Amino acid sequence: MTTVETSVREGVAHLVLDRPSALNALDTGTVLAMRGALDRWRGDPGVRAVVVRSGTPRAFCAGGDIRAIREAALRGDFAATTRFFREEYALNQEIAEYPKPYVALIDGVAMGGGLGISVHGAVRVATERSVFAMPETLIGFFPDVGACSFLPRLGGALGRYLGLTGARLSGADAVKAGLATHFVSSADLPEFTAALDTAELDDALAKYARTPPPSELDDIGGRIAAAFAPGTLSEVGDRLRADGSAWAETTLGSLAAASPLSLRLTDEMLRLGERDSLAQCLRRDLAVAARLVREPDFAEGVRAKLVDKTGDARWSFASGEAVPHERIAELLGG
């Protein structure tokens, strides 16, 4: 079954994600199709830019097909899980290094791997329907696809907040944070997409890009910076309780729902990612992902969140403080 449609019009290549029943979740076939198309267009003098978008208004890309990865892991088919992550992360690196403008039209949900096929591109267009999130700690995983490279670089402790809690950002939030580069109204998106075929990219952006609406980050940015400043996870919790706002209560709830193992691991990976290149982070992502899918928290987290949808995950550790440093070192390969 085809999950990616490709075409070239007037020198612009289009990648259209077409797996609506799974909200365009990425499987190995989809990733390989995207890589194959990008490889073909890389050296084609008739292609001047690449546009990636969704064929459904429901989502841009909901991430990797985590349920399929869990099923493979439960079967003991770790060759399949490792292959998926290897190909996905190679795609992320290729997008980051692509020699032609790579334009992602992020209309709808972009989570996990959906950020991996958009945020690394040169132009990331958000709309009022966009939802950005890296909710991996809630399923016993970690923010991968190079997130430990781009999240720490957002500033104001925002990346730590997003990586640990899985909090969602609107399109306006994403532009303010730097995850998106432009804002276009969803109503204008069809005309903007058509304009990309006939006009220069900068001209199309100048015509259709708008100032985004006010961002919630204007109100909570200071709280995020104070609560998620350097310090232990226990200190983050203390700061949130001292804050006492509705936002702080919601954030404490998100942390309480996450896998303690994932929280500790993610926090360390974000710290390491501050100084490492994207390529280094993706290599670490692959090593850690290959190990983490063998952990009980991954199968349990995906079951509770995505399979049974009961939200009753029984984690391996009671708190982040209960996770031995040696366990984190083992997962990191240290």
Q: Is position 114 annotated as part of the catalytic site?
A: no
What's the CA gap between 134 and 141, in Å, rounded?
10
Q: Is position 268 annotated as part of the catalytic site?
A: no
Of the candidates 65, 87, 107, 136, the residue annotated as catalytic is 136
Contact indicator for 152, 273 with CB cutoff of 8 Å: yes
Q: Is position 113 annotated as part of the catalytic site?
A: yes
What's the CA gap between 242 and 220, in Å, rounded?
15
Of the candidates 27, 65, 107, 144, the residue annotated as catalytic is 144
Element (H, E) at 138: none
Side chain identity, residue 231: G
Q: Is position 64 annotated as part of the catalytic site?
A: yes
DSSP per-residue codes, 145-211: TTHHHHSTTSSTTHHHHHHHH---EEHHHHHHHTS-SEE--GGGHHHHHHHHHHS-HHHHHHHH--P
Of the candidates 63, 64, 237, 301, the residue annotated as catalytic is 64
CA-nearest of 273, 255, 64, 279 to 151 is 273
Beta 49-54 vs 12-17: how paired, if at all?
parallel
Give the position of tokens 């009980």. Answer: 296
Of the candidates 63, 108, 113, 320, the residue annotated as catalytic is 113
Phi, psi (degrees; rounded to nearest 5) at 258: -80, 160
Q: Which residues contact 329 (CB under 8 A, 6 or more apart)?
A: none
Contact indicator for 103, 122 with CB cutoff of 8 Å: yes
DSSP-derived 3-state class of residue 295: coil
> Which positions are annotated as active-site residues?
64, 113, 136, 144
